[in-house]
Amino acid sequence: MKAHALAVGIWLIVCGAPHVAAAPQATGLPPGDYRVVEVQIAAMPTTRRGRPWDEAPGEAPDLVVKIQINGAKAVTCYPAENAVIGKCRLDLPFVLDETSHIELDIVDRDTVLDDPIGTARLGDPARWSTGVAMPLVVSGRLENATITLARAPTWWDLHRTRLLGLGGGIVLALGVLGGFRRSLMPPPPTPRAPARCSHCQVLLGDDLRKCSHCGAAQTGASS
């Protein structure tokens, strides 16, 4: 019972409330450390001149996304080849302040020269959120673009799995130790049978002389 209660306590402390942790952050993010976790784009099927992006058989663009945060190039990702829709899953850290902005430069990767597709921009951090796909302002031959942010993991987040494993190990060890101790403990002593008269089997209690009333010998009174 104690081991079970300890396990429940460790689970609540280590894991917390999952439904609260997974809920999107309210609009408007305070300054701090965050991550870009996903970028999704959709390009128009043709160039500005109405031509396919590439020659047949693969006429759709080979998408490349160059991400800039606060004016500095952060990372380049490759969401899809020969497709107008693509997604990049990332773990890109950055520091958010009131002037932060994120820009995407999307091109069609070619052997000789990349063809520009369009750009997308996310400004006004007062309207940003975490855990939701936020639309970006697009230009060029982009249909739409979204970006998803998340809070940077804290020390607790990074070590939660280890602590959970440690707590489970402690509970298991306590259970094994309890069973081992019970196996080493001697069995409880068997209670002695009450003294009876050896002749008529009357209970003698504390007075062994009662046996003389029925004329029996007082043998075995102490056994």
What's the pLDDT at 20?
37
Residue 78 lies in a domain: yes
Low-confidence ranges of the chain (pLDDT < 50): 1, 13-14, 16-23, 26, 216-218, 220-223
Residue 16 lies in a domain: no
Q: Which of 127, 121, 128 is nearest to 144 (CA)?
A: 121
What's the pLDDT at 212?
62
Residue 41 lies in a domain: yes
Q: Which of 167, 222, 170, 168 is nearest to 196 (CA)?
A: 222
Task: State whether residue 205 is helix, strand or coil.
Answer: coil
Q: For residue 63, give its domain range.
A: 29-151
Residue 114 lies in a domain: yes
What's the pLDDT at 223?
47
What's the pLDDT at 82?
93
Residue 4 lies in a domain: no
Q: pTM of this prediction? A: 0.61
What's the pLDDT at 157?
65
Cα separation, 11 vs 47, in Å, equals 55
State the CATH number of the domain containing residue 76: 2.60.40.150
What's the pLDDT at 202?
64
What's the pLDDT at 133?
97
Residue 159 lies in a domain: no
Q: Is 129 exposed, middle or buried (0-12, 13-18, 19+ CB in 10 A)?
A: middle
Q: Token pair 């102490």 is at which residue?
A: 222
Q: Which of 134, 12, 145, 125 is nearest to 66 (CA)?
A: 145
Residue 90 lies in a domain: yes
What's the pLDDT at 222?
45
What's the pLDDT at 169?
80
Number of domains in the chain: 1
